[in-house]
Structure 1
Amino acid sequence: MAAELAATLPGAALTCVSAGYALAAAWLSRRAPAASGGMATAPVSVLKPLCGAEPRLYENLATLCRQRHPSFQLVFGVRAADDPAIAVVERLRRDFPACDIALVVDPQVHGTNLKVSNLINLFAQARHDVLVIADSDIAVPPDYLARVTAPLADRGVGVVTCLYRGHPTGGLWSRIGAQFINDWFAPSVRIAHAGGSQRFAFGATIALRRDALAAIGGFAALSDRLADDYWLGELTRQHGLRTVLSDVVVTTDVTEDRFSDLWRHELRWLRTIRSLNPPGFAFTFITFTWPMLALGALLAPLPPVFAVAAIGVMARSLLAGSVAAALRAPLRDALLLAGWAFALAGKRVQWREQVLSVRDPHTRPVLNPEQPSSTGIHPPRPL
């Protein structure tokens, strides 16, 4: 009897850990986040590197033009004079004549990260000391600039960053991709943040002061780094500045309408995560609720284990937020497990026309032992 009970312990432990994680994720995802501080009025320069005519580009950029903020500048940058994004910027200028909009067209390349190269080129046009960097596919609320820049009034704050929710623009695979963000990524950040971690920064939004950027060596310090958003936060933390997770949640479009596109995108995310925190990534499998609960119940076919598994399933369904999303959750978690397994190996990721190495020495973080570590499961925003 004792031997039989001992044999069931791994399955029982796996079930309990996975169900506990699902419960914590569901609970934290439904808590109202604490406000990160007031409404700021200091002038802001928003830096937006662009590349191509992405779906809904005009609609997303227009949300910045509708900000309820007394003084802000929008600086857009492209590398090629024939980039279709230029026409979108010109349309914004016509539709929002009161907005201060600058456009930088500069083919000069600085380092291997083309997004950072673009930022270096357009930074020269930024006139204000408060800077906001955000990816091109982000839609924001009208009080976005006032809220995300408010914590920077504290000189001990280096970076303010935002969580984001996925907005599917297509069919099944687009919706599965949105669940990657909404049901896995965002809850993992909230759990790590609740545990005291600050080791994150997301391309969805990074707000910082000009002096903090200068202290780390400017954007040039990121020019050869793969996860530039993560490193912008990490380098400021190494200078003793705090990272604040804003209560603002922005929206990002999920446009993949084919499995192959979604797989390539998520594999890039997962391999990048592995490069930043290999030990944490190795234990990420416990967050894939459905496969882990099934495996745990199979290894420990006992009534208490099935009860715990049922709790985990209910928590996972609650996290999904709708009946349709709950029905897709087993497929979503199975794909996460498969992607995790593939991401354990492989040295390269593909971004647009570039193939980049995840083994670049710049991708190894210098850990501050006095800072709590994150779980290591947060995907950086796509470059």
Structure 2
Amino acid sequence: MNARSDPRRPTRVRSKRYATLFACIVVVFSRVAASYDAAPHIAHILCATLAVAFALPAVLGVGYTCFAALLVRGFFARSCAQPSSFPSVTLVKPLCGDEWNLEHNLTSFFEQDYPGPVQFLFGVHDPADVALKTVDMLRARYPKAQVDVVVDSRLYGPNRKIGNLVNMLEHAKYDVLCFADSDVTVERDYLLHVVGALQCPGVGLVTCVYRGLCAPGWWPGFAAAATNYHFLPGVVTGLALGRARPCFGQTIAMERAMLDRIGGLTQFAHHLAEDHAIGCAVRRTGATVSIPPFTVRHACVETRFTKLFAHELRWSRTIRSVDPLGHLGSALMHPLPFALLAVLMSEGAAWAWALAGIALVARLVLKWQSDRAVQQTHRGLWLLPMCDVLSFIIFIASFFSSRVEWRGFSFNVDGNGLLSPVHDE
């Protein structure tokens, strides 16, 4: 075989080029190191360059933050669609363990101002699951409610939630299905808004944005701040720009015919972000995913830093796996950390401190607008800068691995968001 036909030749050529480039870099740095007088000058130029490099995304991030503040206000100023009829609804609630605020969360679904029939369908894998005690309490408190419980240990993949839902659907009585997580609290008009949105022309699925509801303690406040002032504005901005195509497991409502049309839920048993995959499947049918202008409240319960970091990192890596470009663009959601890096690299230059101050003010304005839009109390201002820095660290860490921890198990996530178990030796 001659050299021209050798399939390894391009690789060898590239290797030689990289080796030559590396050798040149080594020579340059060796000469700089040999000249002690030149080293400080080179270091100063390098730091100045990095300062400008960090200042650029900070400036863009300030612009993004101000834009997001306006969009959040406009998004929640819209009116929710009202239902033209009140079809029977099956509320599908997977349970697992005695979660914080579980009784209050579930009670909020029993106290809906919805005139149509509602079946409350709960499911667990383990007959000894302590969450069933809460269901028994609610059954006694609301004796007229249609309450059904499914205990079934069958699994169809590593996603245990999907296994629970598939088992429960065999017992769903009605054709309007509303899947809602157990750590969610809703207002009394929740079902009215969801059904109203589902009845709009062309809508195949309804999902909801959510905000954080803090458990007692220090760290849950960080998780809630990340949800309220990073996640929520990011979703609203992505929708306005046509970049976001979300679907959130906190609420997924659809008709049984649509569920059958996409092929059921079993196919999502190997997905980490099964909610995102369900939304994509519905959109492929030509139907739209509606996100009405109200929020549900999602419990933030990570009471230790390690749990908080692992949870937020899993979420960040999940987003990276399903939307790599959008995840990279979310760097603009961190203007304050970038500005602080510019301060550090510029050795405290006045312009860098001014940029950091502007970034902080922009973030506070976004917080104020977000709280006002969802009618939430203004508090925790002092927590926002620390939350921004922590969120930025998690954002950077999300690029270094595809491994996630989920309910005590380790998985790798591929480019399609599929889970594969990690077996540590």
1:167–1:253 Cα contact (<8 Å) kept? yes
Q: CA deviation at 1:156?
A: 1.4
**Cα deviation per residue 1:205-252 (whole Å; 9 max; x = unaligned)?**
111111111111111121111101111111111111111111221111
The residue that corresponds to 1:42 in the other structure is: 87
Query: Counterpart of 2:70?
Result: 27
**TM-score normalised per structure 1:** 0.87
Mapped partners of 2:378, 2:259: distance in 1: 45
1:64 pairs with 2:109: yes
Q: Partner letter of residue 38 of structure 1?
A: Q
198-207 or 227-236: bigger deviation: 198-207
1:319 equivalent to 2:366? Answer yes
The AA in structure 1 aligned to 2:404 is V
What is the distance in 2 between the residues matched to 1:97 and 1:277? 45
1:198 CA displacement: 5.1
Shifted more, 123-132 versus 321-330: the winner is 321-330
Kindly provide the amino acid, as one letter, of the partner of residue 317 in structure 1. L
Structure with higher Rg: it is 2
Percent of aligned positions with the same letter in both sequences?
34
1:335 deviates by 1.0
Which letter does structure 2 place at the counterpart of 1:202? F
Change (3 A) 1:323 1:125: closer
Checking the alignment, whether the CA contact within 8 Å between 1:49 and 1:135 is kept in structure 2 is yes
CA RMSD, Structure 1 to Structure 2 (Å): 2.4
Displacement, 1:303? 7.2
Kept in 1: contact 2:321–2:416 (CA 8 A): no
**CA–CA distance in structure 1, aligned partners of residues 330 and 203 of structure 2:** 29
Shift in CA distance, 208/239, structure 1 to aligned 2, threshold 3 Å: same
1:126-150: CA deviation from partner (whole Å, max 9, x where unpaired): 1111111111010111111111121
In structure 2, what is the Cα distance between the partners aligned to 1:93 and 1:119? 21
Q: TM-score, normalised by structure 2?
A: 0.79
Tell me the residue number matched to 2:276: 230
State the match for 2:395 in structure 1. Answer: 340
Unaligned 5+ segments in structure 1 are 365-383
Is 2:182 the counterpart of 1:136? yes
CA separation in 2, counterparts of 1:99 and 1:65?
8
The aligned amino acid for 1:134 is A
C-alpha distance in structure 2 between counterparts of 1:187 and 1:69, whole Å = 30
Higher deviation after alignment, 10-19 or 250-259: 10-19
Alignment-mate amino acid for residue 212 of structure 2: G
Instruction: Describe the superposition over 1:269-293 as per-residue Cα deviations: whole angstroms up to 9, x where unpaired.
Output: 0111111122322332221131122
User: Does the 8 Å contact 1:226/1:356 carry over to 2?
Assistant: no
SS at match of 1:37: coil
CA distance in 1, matches of 2:416, 2:243: 24
For the 8 Å contact 2:180–2:250, the answer to whether it is kept is yes
Partner-residue secondary structure (3-state), 1:325 = coil
2:338 to 268, 273, 292: 292
Length, aligned pairs only: 361
What's the counterpart of residue 16 of structure 1?
59
